[in-house]
Homo-oligomer: A and B are copies of this chain.
Amino acid sequence: MVAMQTHYLKIGQLAARAGISVESLRYYESEGLISANCRSENGYRLYSDESIQKLGFILHAKKIGFSLKEIKRLLGLRLNRDQHTCEEVKDYTGAKIREIEQKIADLVKMKSALVSLHEACCGGNETADNCSILQTLEAPFTFEKIESGDS
């Protein structure tokens, strides 16, 4: 009924086509993300179009920031679409978006602190004896803990 499988790919071919390593593919398999549809007589993994599509899904999701663990869950949703709701799926992307926003916010904070430091330094050929970068880093650090309690 379904279009017949024209031909299978061996692991090296699939890896080359996907631009990842053979070892990564085997690793994904070991993590339960994707396995070959069948094996050849000599035990070689053989991948069908279905597997290729699944790998596409995985790499797609990876590209937008999902971890392999999360992708495994996504693959579960994908496989049993009828047992899950759009809401569930959307919640998943929503959570990920917030996570990424948090990471961005942290990095932006770091960057601005770094830029202040950077811009204060003359960057000249003189020795760093009075370098403002080193001085600022050295300045009393506000240990964010209680200051009291000397014995």
A: residues with CB less than 8 A from B are: 16-19, 53, 55-57, 59-61, 63-65, 74, 77-78, 81-91, 93-94, 96-97, 100-101, 103-104, 107-108, 110-111, 113-115, 117-118, 121-129, 131, 133-134, 136-141, 143-145, 147
How many Å lie between the Cα of A107 and that of B63 in the bound state? 10
Residue on B nearest A106 in the bound complex, by CB: B65
Chain B residues near A143 (CB-CB < 8 A): 17-19, 56, 59
What copy number does this chain have within its complex? Answer: 2
Among candidates B97, B121, B139, B147, residue contacting A90 with C-beta atoms closer than 8 Å: B121
How many Å lie between the Cα of A38 and that of B36 in the bound state? 60
Residue on B nearest A71 in the bound complex, by CB: B137
- Which interface residue of A82, A124, A133 has the most chain B CB atoms within 10 A? A133
B19 touches A107 (CB 8 A): no
- Min CB distance, A78 to chain B, in Å? 5
- Min CB distance, A23 to chain B, in Å? 16
In the complex with contacts A104-B104, A118-B97, A133-B93, A123-B19 CB distance below 8 A: no
Chain B residues near A129 (CB-CB < 8 A): 81-82
